[in-house]
Structure 1
Amino acid sequence: MNISRNTLVLSFIAWLPLMAAATSPPATQDFLLDNGLKVVVREDHRSPIVTVQLWIKVGSSYELPGQSGLSHALEHMVYKGSSKACAGEFAAILDKLGASQNAFTGTDFTVFHQTLSSGRAGVAFEILADLMSTAELDAQDFTPELKVIQEERRMRVDDEITTSAHERLNSIAYPTSGYRTSTIGWMHDLRRMNAVQLQQWYQAWYSPDNATLVVVGDVAPERIKALAQQYFGHLERRATPAAPVPVELASAGERSLTLHAPITSPRLIMSFNAPSLATALDRRTAHALRLLDMLLAGSGSARIKQQLQLGEAIFTEAQSEYDAFKRGDSLLTISTQLNPDKLTDTDEALARLWQVIESLKSKAPEPAELERAKNLLIANTVYAQDDLEGQANTLGLLDTIGLDWRLADQDTDELNKVTPLDIQQVAKTYLTRERLSTAKILPEKNNG
């Protein structure tokens, strides 16, 4: 799952209601059914609608070599028919109710979600319970759907050089964990995937005790308890396979790859192995890494953007990303595109990036600079929670990766505790060559 990050320009006065909202979390509670299904309910009575999400704890990081893409393919297939409906029937029902539905697969999860009138919440419960337990996964339906998935891969990955480069980079940046696996699936695995594999994957992971049901909206918790028991309570608990936490080597050594593509200007990507909120010995480390990301290239005022993109103009694009919300170790990634009018040598560009990185390692940022980064990150987080799906996404993600959903309501306080010295320390510890993987994308040479 990727959430876009927009640069926000806010006055101090505009911050006051944001901070107040961040310190007043909505009423939320959770409970367990006897079969192990966890249900998290958050009340939000601003409008008469509800979002219902079913989070299954399985994604591409669970897949063994040769199995890549199984979780994503299964996400496609559960809508193709079940004990209560043929393909398309559930979608038609939801459409008549004015509801929306979707699904997505990540490295650690598969999610099915619906947003509809709060009075119709039972419809979503019935559909999701049926898809989770009685999907037919017919081989005749799988053959054409597999071609759809293969075409999706060609369009979204193979024909998009930056996406493809990130996929290849992950394969070397994660030398020992399942995060190196392509979420959509490597093409050679998709070509040999079959319905039997899909059925086995479904039986292995789609169990109520391996799932979290998240409900956010204009609801009463007691009503949700009754609906959960009615539609999910009869599902049988099944033993699920062991799922090792994707922990990486602390110092895997510097790794690199070079790709050639029909582009006009070189691109450079740097990824550093780093812990997540789930694997850091101290969660403050992960929060400091989130802010380090903002200071590097995560906002318009970040150092790489100001010095190398807007200032020296050696980059036409520069951004950074750190995903703290993973069940295993993560990456802090810096992605750039060189300005061919200023610089075409990726080694020189790499050296300039290292200069910016070393400046954060040699001297802690000024308090005012860190405060700006905190304000931007908190604003992004608060605005992401402004709708029901944003709230449900955060609650479901935290629980699915093994963290307490209550951390969502503590996020602002935890970020505000990070000091300039914390930033300097995580830069020294994690932005090292021993943790670095680099991808260079160079223009193809004209041999004609």
Structure 2
Amino acid sequence: MDTKISSNRIRWLGAVLLLPALAFAGKVHEFKLDNGLKLVVKEDHRAPVVVSQVWYKVGSSYESEGMTGISHMLEHMMFKGTEKYGPGEFSRIIAENGGRENAFTGADYTAYFESLERSRLGIAFELEADRMRNLRLDEKEFRKEQQVVLEERRLRTEDQPRAKTYEYFMATAYTNGPYRHPVIGWPSDIEHLTLDDLKAWYERWYAPNNATLVVVGDVDPKRTFALAKRWFGALKPSAIPPLKPRAEVEQVGERRLTVRLPAELPYLIMGYKVPVLASLPKERRWEAYALAVLAGILDGGESARLTSRLIRGRQVAASVGANYDLYDRLPNLLVLEGTPAQGHTLVELEQSLRAEVEKLQTEPVTPEELARVKTQVTAETVYERDSMFYQAMQIGLLETVGLGWQRMDEYEEQIHQVTAAQVQEVARKYLIPERLTVAYLEPLPLAKKPKPKSESGMGDKYVR
């Protein structure tokens, strides 16, 4: 899910910024069942609807060699029925009650959601509780879904040169860290998964003591807790073994790769290894917020440095961007990516991006730039809180990566405390060659003109 908003939307939100930042925020309530299930309820009484999400602490970063893609495969199988409800019944029942449902898998989580009229919340709870521990895994359905996933991989990765380049890039940037594996899995691993593999994975991770139930909407917290206790309370917990450390080995030099694939345009990815909020000691957590501001200085609207200098200014780039997520479970990458403008090369674009990094290291960012990023963060915070679904997403993500939902209300404040000196410090500390991986996509001729479709090189979530 893309959390960026357009400059037009920022201008539209100008009037909203006159409101208190918490205008759309309701009180958050936390409960815990005896079997270990955590329930987080956030009241939002603006409409008679409710969003329910179940987040499991398991994703591709939990997988071992030879088993990549199993979390995503199990997500697909979770819609294939239980002893009580047959294949497709889950989706049919939600639709009959005027709701919508789906699921998504990431590196650090697998999540399932329903959006319903508030009086139908018990239906979502009943269905989710049933498949949390009573999933029926059928060999025939599994083999069918295995082919569906392989086709999904072909359409979303194999046939998409940017996505394929990004996959190779991640596998080069990491030596042994689990983020080197694609969420959907490597083709050979997908092909050789067995039903027994899925059963063991399901029994190990799909348990109330490894899940967070998030509810946002027009609900009463105590009644919601009673409802959760009714449907989830009898479920037995699992013996969840502690995760072994999978710390990435130290990188000792710049890494580079060139990918040659049939493509219309060349593409550049540059990634620096950086910490995230969960990996930093408390006294150094400001670094994650400073890195977020740094990414905003580079890529945060039409007046950001990359757009104003490389697209409109020097016209060396046709597209360019920066990406950093401080809420990952493990240290990740600050990524710069782009396509050179016609008449310019990948080398020129890389040199231009390196020059922008050097400026961050040698020259403090201006007060005007800091103010712009902080204003955008305030606008985004207000806009995101207008969505019940996104509020639930934030809570579920923060709980699942071990930070706690309380960090949600700290983000805006922490961003506003970041100084120019701190941005310069993290640029000098982390944006260095010893932490850098560079990938070039050099286009080969296309056999035939592909059908027009949107393509992103940096997607890491797979939606059923």
Matched, 1:16 2:17: yes
Structure 2 CA distance for aligned equivalents of residues 215 and 184 of structure 1: 27
* Letter matched to residue 289 of structure 2: H
Instruction: Tell me the residue number matched to 2:342.
Output: 340
8 Å CA contact 2:51–2:217 kept in 1: the answer is yes
Partner residue in 1 for 2:65: 65
Shift of 1:405: 0.4
Root mean square deviation of aligned Cα: 1.8
Name the residue aligned to 1:429: 429
Deviations 1:107-128, CA, capped at 9 Å, x for gaps: 0000000010111110000011
Contact (CA 8 Å) 1:25, 1:409: kept in 2 or not?
no
**Other structure's SS at 2:428 match:** helix
Per-residue deviation, residues 229-288 of structure 1 (Å, max 9, x unmatched): 111110111111322455434544211111112234321110111111111232211111
Deviation at 1:170, TM superposition (A): 1.1
What's the CA shift string for 1:339-388, capped at 9, x where partnerless? Answer: 132x12x2232122111110110011011111101111332233122111
Give the stretch that moved more between structures: 30-39 or 164-173.
164-173
Task: Supply the distance in 2 between the matched residues of 1:254 and 1:115 (Cα, whole angstroms).
Answer: 46
Q: Which residue of 2 aligns with 1:170?
A: 170
- 3-state DSSP of counterpart to 2:338: strand
Match of 1:300 in 2: 302
Paired residues of 1:308 and 1:314 also in contact (CA < 8 A): yes
Q: Where does residue 266 of structure 1 map in the other structure?
A: 266
Equivalent residues in 2 for 1:16-415 (5 A)?
16-17=17-18, 20-22=20-22, 25-244=25-244, 247-249=247-249, 251-281=251-281, 282-341=284-343, 343-344=344-345, 346-415=346-415
For 2:181 and 2:62, locate their aligned partners in 1 and report how far apart those are by CA, in whole Å: 9
Deviation at residue 29 of structure 1 after TM alignment: 1.0
TM normalised by structure 2 equals 0.92
Query: Larger deviation: 259-268 or 112-121?
Result: 259-268
Contact (CA 8 Å) 2:263, 2:445: kept in 1 or not? no
Tell whether the 8 Å contact from 1:285 to 1:422 is kept in structure 2 after alignment. Answer: yes
Change in 2 beyond 3 A, CA 1:15/1:177:
same
Instruction: For residues 289-318 of structure 1, give each alpha carbon's deviation from its aligned partner in whole angstroms, at most 9, with x where no partner exists.
Output: 111111112322111211111111111000
Aligned-partner residue type, residue 273 of structure 1? K
Contact preservation (8 Å) 1:245, 1:327: no
Superposed CA offset, 1:116-165 (max 9, x none): 01111100000111111101111111001110000000001111111111
Determine helix, strand or coil for the equivalent of 2:170: helix
Rounded to whole Å, the distance in 2 between the matches of 1:2 and 1:139 is 36
Paired letter, 1:311: G
3-state SS of 1:335 partner = strand
Which amino acid in 2 is paired with 1:14? A
Q: 1:419 to 1:12 in 2, by over 3 A?
A: farther
1 CA distance for matches of 2:12 and 2:46? 26
CA distance in 1, matches of 2:127, 2:365: 51
Task: Give the drift of 1:414.
Answer: 0.9
What is the deviation of 1:11?
7.6
SS at match of 1:83: coil
SS in 2 for 1:317: strand
Judged with a 3 Å threshold, the aligned counterparts in structure 2 of structure 1 residues 442 and 188 are, in CA distance, closer, same or farther, namely same
- Tell me, yes or no, if the aligned pair for 2:24 and 2:382 is still in contact at 8 Å: no
Aligned equivalents of 2:46 and 2:161: distance in 1? Answer: 43
Contact 1:157 1:164 in 2 (8 A): yes
For 2:111, what is the secondary structure of its paired residue?
strand
Unaligned runs of 5+ in 1: none
Change (3 A) 1:65 1:13: closer
Q: Return the structure number with greater relative CO, CA threshold 8 A, min gap 6.
A: 2
Matched position secondary structure for 1:21: coil
Shift of 1:181: 1.1
Task: Give the deviation of 1:70 after TM superposition.
Answer: 0.2
Q: Distance in 1 between matches of 2:26 and 2:285?
A: 23
Q: Which residue of 1 aligns with 2:453?
A: none
More displaced 10-residue stretch of structure 1: 285-294 or 296-305: 296-305
CA distance 1:403–1:241, shift in 2 (3 Å): same
- CA separation of 1:17 and 1:134: change in aligned 2, threshold 3 A: farther
Counterpart CA distance in 2 for 1:215 and 1:284 is: 30
User: Given residue 89 of structure 2, which amino acid in structure 1 is its aligned partner?
Assistant: E
Residues 387/177 of structure 1: CA separation in 2 closer, same or farther (3 Å cut): same
Give the residue type in structure 2 aligned to 1:68. T
Report the alpha carbon displacement of residue 24 of structure 1 after superposing the two structures with TM: 7.1
When the two structures are aligned, how many residues end up with a matched partner? 444
Equivalent residue number for residue 451 of structure 2: none
Q: Tell me the distance in 2 between the aligned counterparts of 1:12 and 1:227.
A: 37
SS in 2 for 1:356: helix
In structure 1, what is the Cα distance between the partners aligned to 2:41 and 2:445? 57
Aligned CA distance change for structure 1 residues 246 and 366 (closer, same or farther; 3 Å): farther
